[in-house]
Amino acid sequence: MSRVVVGISGGVDSSVAAYLLKEQGHDLIALFMVNWHERVGNITSACTWEEDALIAEMVAKKLDIPFHIVDLSKDYKKRVVDYMFAEYQAGRTPNPDVLCNREIKFDSFLDEAMKFDADFVATGHYCRKSEVEVNGETIHRLLAGKDPNKDQSYFLCQLNQQQLSKAMFPVGELLKPEVREIARKQNLPTAERKDSQGICFVGKVDLPTFLQQQLEPKPGNVIEIPATFSEKKKQLEVSEENYRKLCFSFPYKPWNGKVIGEHQGAHFYTIGQRKGLNIGGHKDPLFVLGTDVKRNIVYVGEGQNHPGLHRKGLFVAHDDMHWIRHDLKMEVGEKRTFDIRIRYRQPLEKGTLHLNKDGAWFLFDNEQRGITAGQFTAWYLNDELIGSGVIA
RNA sequence: GACUCAGUAGCUCAGUUGGUAGAGCACAUCCCUUUUAAGGAUGGGGUCCUGGGUUCGAGACCCAGCUGAGUCA
């Protein structure tokens, strides 16, 4: 039997993960990590990590396994929160939780686990693992969780083989209701606890409030782009010379539309966003088509079907390409089809990845809504996550 | 200066032959969701420009005024 450090958070998923490992007879240690101390915003109901830690400890006691707390807030601040602010500042939309897994749970936290002589680190993620032999080398595969509604493989899309080799995902074979059921049967204190949401570890905080801790408000114009304008730009054939136009967001200019309102800072908005524009008087809702943080302009379009909301492809720079399956890494000049995800909980979409000297060009069979720079794209073959990269 | 049209929720407007008001958007809350979005549900909101008049009763009819847009000179 192996020695396993299970990261427990005070939620059901990690509690049940711990229980299952215990049942399998592993030598278990529960480790709770603190990643954020500050209380931000004046959200009175915001629960602090102390409460989570308390409940996590109750779970550990119930399962009769040793419980420890480790404070990783310094790392979290430096490697996740700072990145997040920097990305927003630059006009991109980051995914802090993907970074949290790569930089914290499967790095700093894994290091801590190693101090307990752990063979593995387990988490409550809804995903699965398996191995294949390729030329005598063991390759770890990251697979989607069995519950299609809860699959969290996307959040682990930036892990490498080293990290994956140490990971265990005990709930990946289960459906969420089954996890709840087990928790209830075992009388775990987390059985009926509401799932966590919001940026992991920072907690239930209103994102705009959180961003305003660091980013200054800066009033600027909201400009509406007529649907007819975007329509004209779209009659492009999918060919290599058109990749740039098809795979980058259109560089709108102020004279492409008319000023219809004011915003409090272009860096607070993301493509596809509807809420928070504070502009009424239209027949259909307005959605953000793009932002320009240099000129501090937010470009919007009216209606779900505004052509400017949809794009045929996206681009990932060579340096931002990450292959979990490094044995499947493509050569420059190659083209392959994958099932592609452009953000968490987005259905997989068929598309072709063409790697050329400039980088990776992803062309979808169908236009995608709200492709946003800074988010991660992840490509799959069936259930398996093959690689991921930052959308340019 | 004359004439025409308009003035109803934060915004854009609808309100039939007069019976104290509605829709979309916006906003709020909740649901969904370990990113950002989206989506779903619910909800708060109006001295119907002002002052008179007709009427049992006016957002609607009449008169005057104010404001805005336009047309003509």
Asked if the Cβ of residue A163 lies within 7 A of any atom of strand B, the reply is no
Residue A207's CB is within 10 A of a number of other CB atoms, namely 16
Q: Is the CB of A377 under 7 A from strand B?
A: no
Residue with CA nearest C1' of nucleotide B12: A281
Question: Å from A258 (CA) to B65 (C1')?
Answer: 37
Report the distance separating Cα A320 and Cα A205, nearest Å.
29
Helix (H) or strand (E) holding A366: strand A359-369
Among A156-170, A192-206, A212-226, A302-316, where is mean pLDDT lowest? A192-206
Take residue A299 and report the two structure tokens written for it. Answer: 């470009």
Give chain A's length: 392
Q: Which nucleotide is nearest to A11 (CA to C1')?
A: B34
The answer to whether A44 CB is within 7 Å of strand B is no
By C1' distance from the Cα of A260, the closest nucleotide is B11
Other CB atoms within 10 Å distance of the CB of residue A46? 15
Taking the C-alpha atoms of A377, A380, A384 and A386 in order, what is their torsion angle to the nearest 10 degrees?
-70
Tell me which residue of A63, A64, A67 sits closest to A9, measured CA to CA: A67
* A261 contacts A222 by C-beta, under 8 angstroms: yes
CA of A197 to C1' of B33 (A): 7
A45-49, A103-107, A151-155: lowest mean pLDDT where? A45-49
- DSSP string computed for A6-64: EE--SSHHHHHHHHHHHHTT-EEEEEEEE------TT-TTPPPHHHHHHHHHHHHHHHT
Is residue A148 a contact partner of residue A31, using CB atoms and an 8 Å limit? no
For residue A247, indicate whether it is catalytic. no
List, in order, residues 6 or more apart from A380 with CB less than 8 Å away. Answer: A144, A338, A339, A340, A341, A348, A386
Q: What is the average per-residue pLDDT within A33-56?
A: 70
Q: What is the ipTM of this complex?
A: 0.90
Least Cα distance to A279 among A262, A291, A255 occurs for A262
Question: What is the per-residue pLDDT for A39?
Answer: 59
Q: With bands split at pLDDT 50, 70 and 90, how would you rate the model's confidence at A201? A: low
| pLDDT (0 to 100) of residue A210 | 82
C-alpha–C-alpha distance, residues A49 and A22, integer Å: 25
Residue A234 dihedral angles phi and psi, to the nearest 5°: -100, -5
Residue A134 has pLDDT above 70, yes or no: yes
By C-alpha to C1' distance, B24 is nearest to A283
Q: Which of residues 196-215 of A touch strand B (CB under 7 A)?
A: 196-200, 207-208
Q: What is the pLDDT of residues A300-345, one digit of tens each?
A: 999 999 999 999 999 999 999 999 999 999 999 999 999 999 999 9
The C-alpha atoms of residue A6 and residue A21 are separated, in whole angstroms, by 9
Residue A301: CB less than 7 A from any atom in strand B: no
d(Cα A198, Cα A203) in Å, to the nearest integer? 6
Tokens 């399956």 belong to which residue?
A325
A62-71 pLDDT, tens digit per residue, is 999 999 999 9
Reduce the DSSP state of residue A183 to 3 states and report it.
helix
**Percent of chain A, pLDDT > 90?**
86
Angle between helices A12-23 and A176-185 (to 10 degrees): 70
- The predicted structure's pLDDT at residue A213: 81
% of chain A beyond a pLDDT of 70: 95
For residue A45, what pLDDT band results from cuts at 50, 70 and 90?
very low
- Which of helix, strand or coil describes residue A300? strand
Minimum mean pLDDT range among A150-154, A209-213, A230-234, A382-386: A230-234
Residue A209's pLDDT is: 79
Fill in the amino acid letter for A379.
Answer: W
pLDDT at A44 over 60: no
Q: Write down the pLDDT at residue A159.
A: 98
What's chain A's average pLDDT?
93
- Under DSSP, the state recorded for A101 is I
In the predicted structure, residue A48 carries a pLDDT above the cut 90: no
Strand B: which residues 82-111 of A lie within 7 A (CB)? 93-97, 101
pLDDT exceeds cutoff 50 at A43: no
At A69-92, the pLDDT tens digits run 999 999 999 999 999 999 999 999
Q: Which two tokens stand for residue A345?
A: 């909980």
pLDDT band at A41 (very low <50, low <70, confident <90, very high): very low
The distance (Å) linking the CA of A298 with the C1' of B56 is 56
Note the CA–C1' distance, A41 to B24, in angstroms: 33
pLDDT tier, A42 (very low <50, low <70, confident <90, very high otherwise): very low
CB A193 within 8 A of CB A186: no
A169 touches strand B (CB under 7 A): no
pLDDT at residue A197, rounded to an integer: 74
A227-236, A266-275, A366-375: least confidently modelled range: A227-236
CA of A383 to C1' of B71 (A): 70
A127 catalytic? Reply is no
**CA–C1' A187–B32 (A):** 26
pLDDT at A36 > cutoff 90: no
Q: Is the CB of A275 under 7 A from strand B?
A: yes
Rounded to two decimals, the pTM is 0.92
How far is residue A256's CA from residue A247's CA, in Å, rounded to a whole number? 20
Rounded to an integer, what distance in angstroms lies between the CA atom of residue A17 and that of residue A13?
6
The single residue of A47, A127, A157, A200 carrying the catalytic annotation is A200
Residue A356 (CA) to nucleotide B52 (C1'), in angstroms, measures 80
User: Is the pLDDT confidence value at A285 over 70?
Assistant: yes
Q: Which one is catalytic: A100, A127, A157, A247?
A: A100
Positions of strand B less than 7 angstroms from a protein CB: 10-12, 24-28, 33-39
Q: How far is the CA of A280 from the C1' of B48 (A)?
A: 20
